[in-house]
Amino acid sequence: MAVPVAVLGAGSFGTCLAMLAARVGDVTLWAREPAVADAINRNHRNPRYLKDAELPESIRATSDLAEALRDREMVIVAVPSHGVRELLGTARDHLLPEAILVSTVKGIEPETGYTMHRVMQDVLDASHHPHIVCLSGPSFASEVAQGKPTVVTLAAAEEAYAISVQTTLSSPFFRCYSSADVIGVELGGALKNVVAIAVGTCDGLDAGMNARAALMTRGLAEITRLGVAMGADPLTFQGLSGMGDLVLTCTGDLSRNRHVGLELGRGRTLPEILGEMNEVAEGVRTTRAAVALARKRGVEMPIAEVVQAVLDEDLGVEEAAVRLMTRQLRGELE
C-alpha cells in the first residue's frame, strides 16, 4: 500500500526524494517561497534546483506547511541544518501521531552540539521519538534525479521504522540499507563535510594526490575517534554513511564542501565563496561544532582544528598544511 509522503524542503535533495517517493504514491512538497511552489505545480519543474528534471504529476507543491503535512504518514525533512529546529517547531502541531519522520540533514547544531536526530527529539513530543529515521550515504541529488545507481543507509533506534522507509524509497536505482546505529550514521554524514573542505583546500593548493589520500584516510580516523567516543559502532564508519560518503564528498565535482575548500586553496576568501553559492555548504557550520565536541570529549581532531582556523582566517592555507605535516610523530593507531 502506498504511503502518503510529505517532503519539507524544495532544494535539490528534497526535490529528488520527492521524485523517488512519487514512484509509489502521492507526494506533497513544501517550498518556503510561494512562487517556487506555484512554478512546480504549473510547469512540473523546480525553477531553482534540478531544473532539467521533469517532476511527476503526483507531486503537489505548497508553501503552506499545514497543508503539506495533512494526512501524511511519512515526512521527509530536507532543509539546511540551521532551519530544522524552527521548521519542526512549527510543524509539530500538524504531524500525525503515527507519522514516520526522515531526516536527510547532514549537520551538527553549533549552539548545542546536537546531531539532527537529537534536535528533532528536542523539538518533538516524546511520542514521535521512536519514529525518527536518519538517511545518509553517498548521494548527489542530481544523480538520484537522473536515475543513476545510488545506495544509502537508513538508521533508526527502532530498526522497524528504518525498514518501513526502506520499502517506500527503494527502487531498482536507489537501494537502502537499514541500521540501528543512529549516532554513527549521523556523525559520518556530518563530519565528512569538514574533511571535504580540507581535501578541497589541498587540491586547490595543487598539493597532489598523495596528500589527498592521506587527508581522507586521517580524516576518517578523526571521524571514527569522535564517533566511538559518542557511542557509535566503529564499523559504521567503514560503511556507506562513513567511508562511502567521505569518498564521494571529497572527490566529486558536485560537492559543495569540496568546492569551498578548492576556492580557499586558490586564495579566495570565505565570504566571496559563500556569496556565490545558491546552496548551503554544511561543513562550514559543522566544523566549529565538531571541534567543540572533540574538545569536550577529549578527542584529537587536528584536521578539523586547522579547517576551523582557516575558515576563521586565523591561519593561511599553506600554514595549515605545514601545521598538519609537522605535528609530533606517533604511531598510526594512536
First to last CA, the chain: 51
**Residue 71 grid coordinates:** 494526512
Cβ–Cβ under 8 Å, residues 123 and 89 = yes
The SS3 assignment for 162 reads helix
192 included as an active-site residue: yes
Phi, psi of 74 (to 5 degrees): -135, 135
Cβ–Cβ under 8 Å, residues 227 and 183 = yes
The SS3 assignment for 95 reads coil
Separation in Å, CA 195 to CA 199, 222, 294, 320: 6, 9, 14, 13
Catalytic residue among 51, 106, 148, 192: 192
CB count within 10 Å of CB 213 equals: 13
CB count within 10 Å of CB 71 equals: 9
The SS3 assignment for 33 reads coil
Helix residue ranges per DSSP H, 172-237:
182-204, 209-229
Q: How far apart are CA 175 and CA 302, in angstroms?
A: 35
Helix residue ranges per DSSP H, 1-115:
12-21, 34-43, 65-69, 84-91
**Residue 102 grid coordinates:** 526522515
Catalytic site positions: 192
